[in-house]
Structures are given as structure tokens and as C-alpha cells.
Amino acid sequence: MKKEFNDTGVCVPNMHYMVDTSKQINEILHNLIKRGKYFTINRARQFGKTTTIFLLSEYLKKKHDYFVIRTSFEGTGDEIFNTPKNFSKGILKHISIKNKLINPEISEDFEQASTKVSNLDDLSYFITQYVKKKEKKIVLIIDEVDKSSNNQLFLSFLGMLRDKYLLRNQGSDYTFHSVILAGVHDIKTLKVKIRDGKEAKLNSPWNIAVDFDIDLSFKPDAIVTMLDDYTQTTGIKMDKKTISEKLYYYTSGYPYLVSKLCKFIDEKIITQRKSQNWTLQDVEDAFEMIVYSGYSTTLFDSIAKNLQNNSKLYNFIYDIVIQNKTKSFVINDIIVYLAYTYGIIKNQNNKCSIHNRIFEQRIYDLILSILDNSNHFKSAIFHDKYYSGNDLNMSYILQRFQQFFKESYSQKDKTFIEREGKLLFLSYLKPIINSNGYDFKEPVVGDERRMDIVITFNKKRYVTELKIWRGAKYHQTGLQQLSDYLDIYSLKNGYLVIFDFNKDKQYKQEQIRFKDKDIFAVRV
């Protein structure tokens, strides 16, 4: 079977090109499982949880002193949670079914037990007897647990496992050596009502769980191991170190995104040319493919849904992406927690940062689409003078935006323009570049200063700064910053849009020679 880059479901070594995760698997084994810890692997969607569980299970099976019982709440339905009897029988039956082909011994034992239990006490007694007679340490792994985490019976089950864990440590019971729960949400932070009719308590049935702080993202050196697998299998050549760094640059190591970009390059980009060797431009092209708003995945759909279904979360992300506001990373803040849980943000020096450049661009497009549909912003009308051959005529675009702004938004209040000025320009720009390009904000590697907009069109870049006029001294600082940005891309031409709130302002256009750069500026 020919290997491929996998962007759906579990990654399997003999079927897929994979990152070498043996370091993470060893960390989980030595730091958590060998110490008999109970823990949750909570990561955002398509962040490698299920693959990690699969690889961990396979590894543990080779260890003679461990016995793995693995199952998932995926597809259990709601009936199992109707009564304690249904749950006790159902979870054993579900484990039996999940292990029928891969582990018949487990399947038969749990099938028989399912016919004898009627409540959680019976289930607890079965676990005690089952573990007691086994010579190996039993590791229970349950995936997709948060699909049932709002159900009281499931929470009671967790509470039962917690109690057995505590009794085991006191030498008073037998139970699983280690229990691993995997899902998007962190189960140990649940706020639950322990008993019906009693006062709700801010308590967790899983407060015995230790923190899972093992990094599952793919760093550049890890991405190289996947590219090693690919090049050795296919014979295709590339500068693996440089390619891996560029993949990380756009994805911040989000496993699904790394694999997806590689899949685009392998299956769509290099097949259209004679040479199959990978280049940095291939990564750029793959980035453009994945950020194009017409391309959809369940991951992007999930992020869009989460943002649009929660106005506080939407406004929080809007402030970061559009307003460049600094937000402290405080995980106890429910909005920060949600944004982090959904994988939208990461902790960067104790500040909230959008997890990766792909997410930032997709969120940009989502916000622009929402605003376009609300009729608050107007777009440019097509004009062939926007283009010069295959290039953008940026000077003309800025001149037309200046006129457009004067006619449509000059009477808007200062607060609106300060807050929405960037969106006004992006909304105007979008139809001009949509067919052959994209725009995005890019943190500059090294000092993480923000350039406002980098427009990529037909593989050429146009760096455009948006600034508020705050006097000549500030203006010179802005020109220096723009000049520095241009140096990064080895460009000599830049563009500047100045929002001037002085009552006597003039709608000027000027060509500025700053050091060795030519900067075209318009004032609006």
C-alpha cells in the first residue's frame, strides 16, 4: 500500500508518513503511566490525541508488564446514560465490542460481565476482581470522553474511579494501574452536582488527575523526521531543514495543519510540474491553498461555529486579530480557557496569541465575510487599472481607496475609524486580490513586531502599513519601521495609508524617498 500524508483519523506508521513521536510516548510512559497516574489528554480537534493514544497502546502492548484496555465514547448514543443499569452494562458491552477483533480475551471477559452488573457498585466490584486476578498492570484508555462529560452517570463513573484510586493507594482496593481520558475539554475542571436534589458543588470527579503538560505539537526537528520518511520512500529531494522550518512558521506545529500542507504539496502541487523536488515556494503555495476562504475542513468549520455561537469569544478574538490588543493569558478566565481549549490561541510569553498564521488568516476572512454580509463595509468596484500586467498597481489602488474613503466614510467619527480603519481597507481590497492572492498580518521573526498587511499576489509581495497620524516624529518612526519590514523581504518599494483626524487635513498623495526605499503614501 502506498503511503500518504494523513489528514483524517488515526495515523498508522505503515500507511502514513508520520512524525517520530517516540520521545513524547516515552515521556508519557515514564512520567505518568509507570507512576500509576490518572490523567487527561485534552487538546483541540485534530491535534493528534487519538494517534497518540493508538501509538501509546501499541507501545504498551509490547511491554510485558502492561495490559491495555482501550475504548471510546464515540458512537455510544444516549441510551447508555438513561439509567445506572444501562450505563454499567453498556460501558462493559462497549469495551467488549471495541476489543472483539484486536483483543478477544478482553472482549469475552467484559461481555460476560455485562450480563451480571446492574449498577455502579456491581461495576466497581467487577473492576476490583478483574484487576486482582491479572498479573499485569492494567491501563484503561477512554477516548472522546467529553462527548458524555455533561452526563451525571458518566460523572458518577469518574467519581467511582477516583474513589477506587484513593483506596488503592491506601492498600484497600484493586483498580486500574493508570487511567487515561482523552477529549477536547479537560475533564478534571468539570463543575458537577454530585447527587440529585443536593446543592450544586464546584467539585470535580476527576480531581485526582495530574496535569498533562507533554507537548504534542510538531517542532521543526520533529517535522524533519516525517520528511525523512517521505524522501526515503519516494526518492524526492528537498532541503528538509528549511522546509520544516517554513511549515512550522505557518502552522506553529499544529499536527493536522502540518500534514495538510504536506499533502497539498505531494498530491496537488508537485504533480503539476516536471520536477517533483520540494521548494520553499511549494510551502507558500500550500499555505495559499489552505487559507483560501473557499476551502473548507471540519477543523475550520468547528472554529467558525465556536466563534459565531459565542459573542464573548468572538469579540475576544476580534480584539486580538483586528485590533492587535494585548490579552493576558489567564487560563482561569473562561473566555481564555475556551479559546485555548478550541486551539484558537496559545500562550506566548503569558499573552494570548492566535495559535498559527493559518488560523489567523482564516479568522480574518471569517470576520470580513461577516462584516461584508452586514453591509457595514463597502468593497471596491472592479477596475482594470488595479492591475499592471500580472502585478498589482498598488499606487492606483491606494489612490482609489483614498477617494472611496473620502466619499463613503469621511463623516464617520474618529472612534469608528480608529477601530475599523484596517477593516475598511481590507474589505475594499478583498475583491481586488481574491482571484490571485491573499493578505495577512505577519509577525516578524526575531522581534515579533507587527506589520499591518502583507499582500501576496501572483507570488509577489506588497508590504502596506496602516498608521494613524500622530505627528512628524511618529511619522518618521513609522517610515523606519516600514523600511525595516521591506528589508526582510528584500523589497525597495512600500506603501503607506495614513489615517489623519485633524480637521484641516488634506487628502494628500506623496512619493517618499526614505533611505534606499520608495514609499507611496496616501492620507485619508
Task: Count the neighbouring beta carbons within 10 Å of the beta carbon of residue 292.
Answer: 14
* Mean pLDDT, range 253-261, rounded to an integer: 97
HSE toward the beta carbon, residue 316, CA cutoff 13 A: 24
Question: 44 by DSSP, 3-state: which?
Answer: coil
Does 183 lie in the same domain as 272?
no
User: What does the alpha-carbon distance between residue 311 and residue 317 come to, in Å, rounded to a whole number?
Assistant: 10
pTM of the full predicted structure?
Answer: 0.85
Task: Assess if residue 306 is contained within a domain.
Answer: no
Region 226-240: mean pLDDT is: 96
Q: How far apart are CA 507 and CA 127, in angstroms?
A: 78
Final residue before a domain boundary, out of 258, 291, 324:
291
Alpha-carbon gap, residue 475 to 470, rounded angstroms: 7
113 or 443, which is more confident: 113
CA 334 to CA 513: how far, in whole Å?
49
406 plus 456 within the same structural domain: yes
Q: Which of 112-121, 210-219, 297-306, 374-383 has the lowest mean pLDDT?
A: 374-383
Q: Looking at residue 226, what is its pLDDT?
A: 98
Domain presence at residue 362 = no
With bands split at pLDDT 50, 70 and 90, how would you rate the model's confidence at 63?
confident
Q: What is the CATH number of the domain that holds 124?
A: 3.40.50.300
Cβ-proximal residues to 85 (8 Å cutoff; 6+ apart), any chain: 117, 118, 119
DSSP 437-499: EEEEEEEPTTT-PEEEEEEEETTEEEEEEEEE---HHHHHHHHHHHHHHHHHTT-SEEEEEEE
Q: Are residues 129 and 267 in the same domain?
A: no
One-letter amino acid at 305 equals K
Interstrand relation of 178-183 and 137-143 (parallel, antiparallel or unpaired): parallel
The answer to whether residue 26 is domain-embedded is yes
Q: Are residues 236 and 185 part of one domain?
A: no
Band the pLDDT of 112: cuts 50, 70, 90. Answer: very high
Alpha-carbon distance values, 90 to 69, 101, 115, 236, 333 (Å): 15, 18, 10, 50, 36
| Residue 346 is assigned to a structural domain of this protein | no
**Are residues 184 and 135 part of one domain?**
yes
For the ranges 149-158, 262-271, 361-370, 459-468, the one whose mean pLDDT is highest: 262-271
Residues 6+ apart with CB under 8 A from 215: 24
| Residue 110, domain member (yes or no) | yes
Q: Is residue 489 part of a domain?
A: yes
Lowest mean pLDDT among 27-36, 235-244, 464-473, 513-522: 464-473
Please check whether residues 174 and 237 belong to one and the same domain: no
Domain-embedded: residue 296: no
- Does 134 lie in the same domain as 31? yes
Q: Which residues 6+ apart lie within 8 Å of 63 measured at CB? A: none
Q: Residue range 407-414: average pLDDT?
A: 71
pLDDT tier, 406 (very low <50, low <70, confident <90, very high otherwise): confident
- SS3 for 416? helix
Which pLDDT value is given to residue 377?
62
Mark which of 276, 291, 306 sits at the end of a domain.
291
Write down how long the chain is.
524
pLDDT for res 449: 41
Is residue 400 within 8 A of residue 378, CB to CB? The reply is no
Q: Average pLDDT, stretch 24-30? A: 95
Residue ranges making up the domain that contains 424: 376-524
Which pLDDT value is given to residue 192? 38
Residues 133 and 266 in one domain: no
* Contact assessment for residue 324 and residue 299, using Cβ atoms and an 8 Å cutoff: no
Total domains present in the chain? 3
Query: What number is the average pLDDT over the span 255-273?
Result: 94
Give a yes or no: residue 283 inside a domain.
Answer: yes
Same domain, 395 and 489: yes
pLDDT 10s digits, 451-465: 568 888 887 889 998
Rounded to 5 degrees, φ, ψ at 199 are -65, 140
Indicate whether 281 pLDDT > 60.
yes
At 93 the pLDDT is 92
Confidence check: pLDDT of 207 > 80? yes
SS3 for 237-287, per residue? CCCHHHHHHHHHHHHCCCHHHHHHHHHHHHHHHHHHCCCCCCCHHHHHHHH
The model's confidence at residue 107, banded by pLDDT at 50, 70 and 90, is: very high
Q: 144 versus 447: which is more confidently predicted?
A: 144
Give pLDDT, residue 265: 96
Residue after which a domain boundary falls, among 291, 325, 351: 291
Answer whether residue 422 shows pLDDT above 60: yes
Does 427 share its domain with 470?
yes
Q: Are residues 380 and 233 in the same domain?
A: no
pLDDT score of 413: 67
Instruction: Tell me the pLDDT band of 73, cut-offs 50, 70 and 90.
Output: confident
More confident residue, 274 or 136: 136
pLDDT tens profile 292-344: 766 788 899 999 999 999 999 999 999 998 877 889 999 888 899 899 999 99
Position 202 pLDDT exceeds 70: no
Predicted local confidence at residue 198, as pLDDT: 43
Kindly state whether residues 31 and 170 are assigned to the same domain. Answer: yes
pLDDT tens-place string over residues 426-480: 888 887 887 566 666 554 433 344 456 888 888 788 999 888 888 888 888 889 8
